[in-house]
Amino acid sequence: MNTSEFEITFLGTCAHDFSPKLKAEYKDKFDNDARRASALLINDSLLIDSGLHILNSLSIIGKSLNEITDIFLTHLHIDHFYLPNIAEIAGSKQEALRVWVREDAEIECPKNVTLIRMKLFEKYDIGNGITIVGMPANHAPTVFPQHFIFEKHGKKFFYGCDGGWFLNQTFNYLKNTELELMVLDCTVGDYIGDFRMGEHNSIPMIRLMLPSLRTIKAINDHSRIILSHIAPSLHKTHAETVAIAKEFGAEIAFDGFKVTV
Ligand SMILES: [Zn+2]
Ligand SMILES: [Zn+2]
């Protein structure tokens, strides 16, 4: 029997170059080429990140703010972390909202929030049989970046936006994890020479990474690879990018995309 443990909805899949169309024709609907700030909804109540568009994305899928129990912050850039939106979610609830950040993050705590400071590489039980581990990411150190592995009943998925390549300890931690799903940063399109190599991935970088991730058994032939944090100004259209990624066995996320693990 192969039951799923995680129901994941991509609430946003953009890097920081948001389309002006979000203010007009797509203000209350999703579009593959008008992406919102990167975020995920997991099992109806857990959020990864809470950036500029999170309230809008939740309203598009018809989710009430008070159903959110936990927010896991990858880092403190404004497309992932926007304090007034966290305050609004917390304010909609009776019980405190749990907000999980890297242990060293410098962050203000809004009312009705329980801040949970995560030690890197330590596994936390978040309830309902789910655990989370945070690993340091190769991104601006001033925003306390971390990647996550969520696990339930042996099924694991990795979320790695934002970050370029992997830091040494993080790469070693991924050995033999046999992830069902990897969501990888793919800010930059299919060209070489971009200056962001030390903080974001490009398609040529992903082409190099996937075989090595297979070698260390972070992924196997059944793992799904989904690329997100797409910068529309650095990529071709969504449809063209889907075709490019298919050649090396990856999928391209879009706002509203649902995946089960
Ligand atoms: Zn970002
Ligand atoms: Zn960032």
HEC profile of 105-152: CCCCCCCCEEEEEECCCCEEEEECCEEEEEEECCCCHHHCCEEEEEEE
Of the pLDDT bands very low, low, confident and very high (cuts 50, 70, 90), residue 230 is very high
> In the chain, at which residue ranges do the beta strands (DSSP E only) sit?
7-12, 39-42, 46-48, 70-72, 97-102, 113-118, 123-127, 130-136, 146-152, 155-160, 181-185, 224-228, 251-252, 258-260
Q: In CATH, what number is assigned to the domain containing residue 170?
A: 3.60.15.10
The two three-digit tokens of residue 154, written as one number: 């042996």
Average the pLDDT over 29-48 and give the result.
97
Q: Is 45 helix (H, G, I), strand (E, B) or coil?
A: coil
217 lies in some domain: yes
The per-residue pLDDT for range 174-193, each reduced to its tens digit, is: 999 999 999 999 999 999 99
259 lies in some domain: no
Output the pLDDT for position 1.
54
What mean pLDDT, rounded, does the chain reach? 97
28 lies in some domain: no
Q: How far is the CA of 241 from the centre of ligand 2 (A)?
A: 22
23 lies in some domain: no
211 lies in some domain: yes
Q: Is 254 helix (H, G, I), strand (E, B) or coil?
A: coil
Q: How far is the CA of 87 from the centre of ligand 2 (A)?
A: 21
Domain that holds residue 202: 7-17+36-254
Output the pLDDT for position 54.
98
Q: How far is the CA of 148 from the centre of ligand 2 (A)?
A: 15
Specify burial of residue 29 (Cβ count, 10 A radius: 0-12, 13-18, 19+).
Answer: exposed
Q: How far is the CA of 6 from the centre of ligand 2 (A)?
A: 25
Cβ 145 vs Cβ 162: under 8 Å: yes
The H helix count followed by the E strand count for the chain is 5, 14
Taking Cα atoms as reference points, which of 49, 3, 94 lies closest to residue 228?
49
137 lies in some domain: yes
- Number of structural domains (the chain) is 1
The per-residue pLDDT for range 121-163, each reduced to its tens digit, is: 999 999 999 999 999 999 999 999 999 999 999 999 999 999 9
29 lies in some domain: no
1 lies in some domain: no
Which residues, 6 or more positions from 224, have their beta carbon under 8 angstroms from its beta carbon? 180, 181, 182, 251, 259
The per-residue pLDDT for range 42-96, each reduced to its tens digit, is: 999 999 999 999 999 999 999 999 999 999 999 999 999 999 999 999 999 999 9
Q: How far is the CA of 1 from the centre of ligand 1 (A)?
A: 37
The neighbourhood of ligand 2, an ion, using CB within 5 A, equals: 77, 162
**Using omega within 30 degrees of 0 as the cis cutoff, is the peptide bond preceding 162 cis?**
yes
- pTM above 0.85? yes
